[in-house]
Amino acid sequence: MKDNEGYVLVEEGVRLYYRTVGTGSNTVVIANVWLLVADFESFAQDPWLIFYDSCGRGGSDAIVDESLVWTDDEIDDLEAVRQYFGLEKTSLIGWSYLGGVTALYAMKYPECVSRMILMCSVSPRWPSPHDDFEELGRKGESRIDPEGVKRLEEMRQTGIELADPERYCREHNNVYLPRQMGRPEALTCMRSDPCVFPNEWPQNLEKHWRKHFPAESMQWVWRSMLSSLKAPTLVIHGTENLITLESSREWVTVLPQANLLVIEGSGHFPHLEAPKVFFPAVGKFLRSSFRKLRLHKRNRIAMLHIYRIHRHTFSRWQALQEATSQKWWVVSMYGFVIL
């Protein structure tokens, strides 16, 4: 096993925390030790996974130059990790806003990226014209337990937020993470514990977001630049994610070699909410040859009809794929669905 942990020195007094997991020669670099590594360990049978925390997150040191915003230093963080491990080329997984960081990195260092997985990524343009932010806000708020909000307020009033920040952080996550989930019960399966890192305590994280993500940095249009990227890309979307399907489809439209994986019923945490679909699909994408899907409408309808009849197991999907000679990346929590 090549499991290890340590620090990458970015500049004097600034270190990035990393952990490596796995045995394979196929290397994948992933941000967010603090929230992903423990839940990806079972996946690390073939690939060698290198997890790292960006400056100010997880086990990494705080950002020294507070004038830098996320679109500046997080690309440099990723490049520092690649150089530290001596990787000529690597696959990348970027989750949430880090999907955008992954794409920006690939645009700056295209020769260093073999494949990309954009996992519930932000849209390639923001604000996205596809999103009704008021409606999405109401949808998210409806998933939050009011009683949990009351418990958090009581903990603040009684001083627990400062006296026992790890306990408060865990309760805060239990209350607010379901906002972005289609299957909030999957939180009980989460093995990662971000609250062991002071950077992830709510009071510290709020300061980080405020400094690192100022309002002026939250507007972008990357569409025209993305057309030059040649790295095969898998875009993953959960139908219950607060980022809309249309935003994920936009990535596939502008990236020359991108396919879309839609996971029915999953939200922003597909590795927790649908692991039996998410991990096999990611593993297959990393191992197999790539081709852009161009299926005729009648084939999609026919395959959807088969899906409705046979939706019991993931292995049934594989058998049907062989029987029909179709290559499908778009799957549901029970089998596969439409592109």
Which of 41-45, 53-57, 221-225, 331-335 has the least mean pLDDT?
331-335
Q: Is residue 95 part of a domain?
A: yes
Q: Is residue 270 part of a domain?
A: yes
pLDDT tens digit string along 203-257? 999 998 888 888 777 888 999 999 999 999 999 999 999 989 999 999 999 999 9
pLDDT at 63: 81
- If you average pLDDT over residues 40-62, what whole number do you get? 89
Q: Is residue 87 part of a domain?
A: yes
pLDDT tens digit string along 267-313? 999 999 999 999 999 999 998 765 555 433 333 333 333 333 233 33
Burial 159-190 (b: 16+ CB within 10 A, else e): ebbeeebeebbebbbbbbbbbbbbbbebeeeb
pLDDT band at 103 (very low <50, low <70, confident <90, very high): very high
Are 35 and 115 contained in the same domain? yes
Decide if 13 contacts 61 (C-beta within 8 A): yes
Q: Is residue 201 part of a domain?
A: no
Q: Between these two residues, 129 and 167, which has the higher pLDDT value?
A: 167
Q: What is the mean pLDDT of the chain?
A: 84
pLDDT at 305: 32
In angstroms, how far is CA 78 from the centroid of its own chain? 15
**327 pLDDT exceeds 90?**
no
| Residue among 300, 293, 275, 277 nearest 232 (CA) | 293
Q: Is residue 164 part of a domain?
A: no
- If you average pLDDT over residues 14-36, what whole number do you get? 92
Are 302 and 328 contained in the same domain? yes
- Share of residues in the chain with pLDDT > 70 (%): 84
- Share of residues in the chain with pLDDT > 90 (%): 67
pLDDT at 231: 95
**79 pLDDT exceeds 80?**
yes
pLDDT band at 114 (very low <50, low <70, confident <90, very high): very high
- If you average pLDDT over residues 113-142, what whole number do you get? 91
**326 pLDDT exceeds 50?**
no
Are 264 and 221 contained in the same domain? yes
Q: Is residue 231 part of a domain?
A: yes
Q: Within 13 A of 1's CA, how many CA atoms are on the CB side? A: 11
**Full-model pTM:** 0.85
Q: Is residue 192 part of a domain?
A: no
Decide if 119 contacts 285 (C-beta within 8 A): no
pLDDT at 22: 87
pLDDT band at 68 (very low <50, low <70, confident <90, very high): confident
| Residue among 17, 23, 4, 36 nearest 279 (CA) | 36
- If you average pLDDT over residues 121-142, what whole number do you get? 89
pLDDT at 1: 40
Are 35 and 99 contained in the same domain? yes
Are 312 and 250 contained in the same domain? no
Domain enclosing residue 94, as ranges? 4-132+216-292
Strand partners, 48: 22, 27
Decide if 57 contacts 86 (C-beta within 8 A): no
**46 pLDDT exceeds 70?**
yes
pLDDT at 323: 37
Burial class (CB in 10 A: 0-12, 13-18, 19+), 101: buried
Are 49 and 84 contained in the same domain? yes
Number of domains present in the structure of the chain: 2
Q: Is residue 139 part of a domain?
A: no
